[in-house]
Structure 1
Amino acid sequence: MEPSEEDFVAEAFADLVRPEDVAFAENQPLATLGLPKLWSPRLTQLVMAYDHRFPGGGVQFVVRRLREVRYYLTKPALAAEVRAFLRDEFPLDAAVIIGHSLGSVIAYDLLRHKEVGAAGTPGSGLHTLVTCGSPLGIPAVRRLMGVTDGMPLQLESHIRWVNVFDPGDLITGGVSLSTVARGLTEAPVNNGIGDPHSALRYLRSVPVARAVAGGRP
């Protein structure tokens, strides 16, 4: 990883680990997880702390997902191309948009740039955003979007936002969005221990089905 990329990943982990996880990692040899030596001691220690909170050896998967989010958010031309592709394929009569993981960041981006869901744009009748397993709850991600700490995420008043999250989702740290987004409806779910971040499990959940059907999650 480039230094700036590693700094972002470390910042994200620092946002998610608990003091007791850090204390545990500080007392472990840096080689405990057998991580690549290309990672700095700082990142290695934070990864060990996160693995203490979410044991199972999935931290390298988390690193990959964080790098993907950063790549999208630090490449304005690419991000605009992605949004344009989705905007051009967006059904005119779409009423609900669902975003999972990085897709939730892109969906929110589409709406905050008013590229869909606004008068004169594709999906002008859009009334609901459903986010699942969203990294928008990680402060480092919001900062990279230009959303400073204390600044709330928000949508146009006519769009309902339902966030579905699993407290055991290691990709998001299990955090909700209730404290960082306005007008949000939260819906915790239990996706099981196999893969709490699974898009399929989120999409099969009752809150998502109810949100799509127009009912209360």
Structure 2
Amino acid sequence: MTPAEEQFVAEALGDVVRPQDLAYAEEQPLAVLGPPKLWPPRITRLLMAYDHRFPGGGGRFFVQRMREVRSYLTEPNLAVKVRALVRDHVTPTTSVVIGHSLGSVIAYDLFRHEDDAPGQTPGDVPGPAVHTLITCGSPLGIPSVRRLMKIEDGDHLRLPDHVRWINVYDPDDVVTGGAGLCRVAPGLVDATVRNGVGDPHSAVRYLRSEPVARAVAGGQP
């Protein structure tokens, strides 16, 4: 893990760790925190705190997903290439865009970068017929993720007026911090699901959920 990755991961964990879980981790001796060289010390302590809330390796899974998000947002030209690849699969009749996990960041990013969509007029990005964005298991509620997207603290996530946004999340999904997005996205509709204890972040389980099916069909989640 590079120093820049460590800083971002520590900030992201700090955003989602609850005070009571951090207090628990602070009380534990270093010997129970795992091999000292596996993670930097401050990451290790935060991981134990997050694992206290989401047992079963939730902290490590969160770190992996955050490193993916950071790579997408910081590696030179990667985001531009990914957006272009996704846009190539949006047809003139595509009406619903669904993004899961990092995909939700990419999907939201599509609406923010009209300048790299030549030939399309403002409001027609990512496609002229798109009227609904569905995000699942999204990390967009994490302040450090939004800051990396150059969204200032206190600023809201916004879509064009004609696009409705439904966000589906499982309160046990570690990538979401167990929370929805309505507090940072005015007009967004949050819908909760229960994906089971095995993998609350599962893309398949999200896509099979009733709120997603209803939203795709044009109804309320």
TM-score (norm 1): 0.95
Q: Using the aligned pairs only, state the percent identity.
A: 65
Q: Which residue of 1 aligns with 2:34?
A: 34
**SS in structure 2 opposite 1:97?**
strand
Cα distance between partner residues in 2 of 1:182 and 1:150:
12
CA contact (8 A) 2:110 2:126 kept: no
> Structure 1: 5+ residue runs without aligned partners?
none
Q: Which residue of 2 aligns with 1:141?
A: 145
Cα distance between partner residues in 1 of 2:201 and 2:72:
19
Cα distance between partner residues in 2 of 1:178 and 1:31:
40
What letter is aligned with 1:192? G
Q: Deviations for 1:160-197, whole angstroms, at most 9, x for unmatched residues?
A: 00000000001221111010012101101111111000
1:44 maps to 2:48? no
Cα distance between partner residues in 2 of 1:38 and 1:142:
27
**SS in structure 2 opposite 1:105?**
helix
Judged with a 3 Å threshold, the aligned counterparts in structure 2 of structure 1 residues 122 and 8 are, in CA distance, closer, same or farther, namely: closer
CA contact (8 A) 1:35 1:44 kept: no
Judged with a 3 Å threshold, the aligned counterparts in structure 2 of structure 1 residues 36 and 86 are, in CA distance, closer, same or farther, namely: farther
- The within-5 A match list for 1:1-217 is 1-35=1-35, 37-114=37-114, 115=117, 118-119=122-123, 123-217=127-221
What is the root-mean-square deviation in Å for CA atoms of aligned residues?
Answer: 1.6
Q: How many residues align?
A: 217
**SS in structure 2 opposite 1:93?**
coil
Q: Deviations for 1:112-132, whole angstroms, at most 9, x for unmatched residues?
A: 213489555552010000000
**SS in structure 1 opposite 2:166?**
strand
Please report how far the alpha carbon of residue 31 of structure 1 lies from its aligned counterpart in structure 2 after TM superposition: 3.5
CA contact (8 A) 2:99 2:105 kept: yes
What letter is aligned with 2:41? P
What letter is aligned with 1:14? G
Cα distance between partner residues in 2 of 1:156 and 1:119:
6
What letter is aligned with 1:179? R
Give the stretch that moved more between structures: 117-126 or 177-186. 117-126
What letter is aligned with 1:181? A
Q: Deviations for 1:128-158, whole angstroms, at most 9, x for unmatched residues?
A: 0000000001111001000111000000000
Cα distance between partner residues in 1 of 2:13 and 2:24:
15
Judged with a 3 Å threshold, the aligned counterparts in structure 2 of structure 1 residues 117 and 57 are, in CA distance, closer, same or farther, namely: farther
> Structure 2: 5+ residue runs without aligned partners?
none
What letter is aligned with 1:49? A
CA contact (8 A) 1:138 1:172 kept: yes
Judged with a 3 Å threshold, the aligned counterparts in structure 2 of structure 1 residues 119 and 55 are, in CA distance, closer, same or farther, namely: closer
What letter is aligned with 1:50? Y
What letter is aligned with 1:80? V
TM-score (norm 2): 0.93
